[in-house]
Amino acid sequence: MPISSDAFYLSELPTSLQQGDIVNGVPLILVPPLDSLVIVRSTHHKLPFDQNHLVPGQAELVDERVLNDAFERGTEYSVTSVLRGLAMLVTPTCDLQSADDSGGVWTVWPLRPVEGSGLDEGNLNAGKYVNLYRLPGHDYFDGSFIDMTDLRPVRPKHFPLKNRVASTSREAQDDMLQKFHRSLGRTWGYAEGEVVDPLSKHETGKFRCARCNLFDVPTSERVLTPGLPAPECENCKKIGKTAQWYPLTRHSKKS
């Protein structure tokens, strides 16, 4: 069962930032999905940046299609998409100070509203999306979700304590951590219909369904032929899951 809103968020905020805190107005940066980088360069010699701000001067936007050449000058400044919004702190609490002192970065998850997302809300609430996690509504924001694979770096000064709107409970953090491990730590395997590659010298030709290992059903094993599509798993089919075949390697005896 999903954790209720009362159990998910702390009623009293800690005095300092903690892992799982949610801050508003965080600059979330993402390079546009283009085939090239749009580089900002000076029309004369060198773009006049100093450490803190852009010194007035003439600049031009260069459509750099050969990405390997885009960084011949060392540090470049590129045009990116920036959205200020809600984000949850992923960096562990014990690592926050050391990253801040060294001029490093923290890691956050952007919060996305459920409304207008096009997701099946029932499946989202039930946790059926492998990478997505539902967040209960809060006084400062409506029901939202995070994509566990969408990790963004931010500078500590762009995630200020004064902009914090919510802190999550230990129970909520543990639940998110388990989901995070499942979403990024999945065992590789051939999906149903995916063509099997040639076997390596360590593989036997026998494959086991990784999906079966996660559920209380008999584990399936098959011999798969390289060059042919991977079959469906009958045991997974019975519980509404899809196959994920991984190769078994030969046992080597120790001398």
The model's pLDDT over 211-252, given as tens digits with 9 standing for 90+, comes to 887 777 888 899 998 899 999 999 888 888 888 898 888 776
Domain boundary, last residue among 127, 152, 184: 184
- CA 63, CA 40: separation in Å to the nearest integer? 9
37: CB partners within 8 A, 6+ apart: 31, 64, 67, 70, 76, 78
pLDDT of residue 114: 94
168 burial type by CB count under 10 A (0-12 exposed, 13-18 middle, 19+ buried):
buried
For residue 75, name the pLDDT band (cuts at 50, 70, 90).
low
Q: Are residues 134 and 174 in the same domain?
A: yes
Per 3-state DSSP, the chain is made up of helix, strand and coil in percentages (nearest 5) of: 20, 30, 50
- 65 domain residue, yes or no: no
Same domain, 14 and 99: yes
Distance CA 135, CA 137 (A): 7
- Residue range 154-170: average pLDDT? 95
Same domain for 108 and 226: no
**Torsion on CA atoms 238, 239, 240, 244, rounded to nearest 10:** -90
Strand order in the sheet with 112-113: 112-113, 144-147, 132-135
When pLDDT is averaged across residues 106-113 and rounded to a whole number, the result is 96
| Cβ proximity of 87 and 111 under 8 Å | yes
The boundaries of the domain holding residue 211 are 190-249
Residues near 7 by beta carbon (within 8 Å), at least 6 away in sequence: 169, 171, 172
Record the tokens describing residue 241, joined without a space: 């899951």
Write down how long the chain is. Answer: 255
Q: Are residues 100 and 11 in the same domain?
A: yes
Looking at the structure, do residues 104 and 166 belong to the same domain, yes or no? yes
Looking at residue 175, its pLDDT comes to 92
Number of structural domains (the chain) is 2
| pTM greater than the 0.85 cutoff | no
Half-sphere exposure of 241 (CA within 13 A, CB side): 20
If we measure between CA atoms, which residue out of 253, 198, 219 comes closest to residue 244? 219
Per-residue pLDDT for 187 more than 80? no
Does residue 88 sit in the same domain as residue 156? yes
Phi and psi angles of residue 98, each rounded to the nearest 5 degrees, phi first: -65, -40
φ/ψ of 66, rounded to 5, equals -95, 95
Assess whether 240 and 130 both reside in one domain.
no
The token pair at 203 is 């593989």
In single-letter form, the type of residue at position 228 comes to L
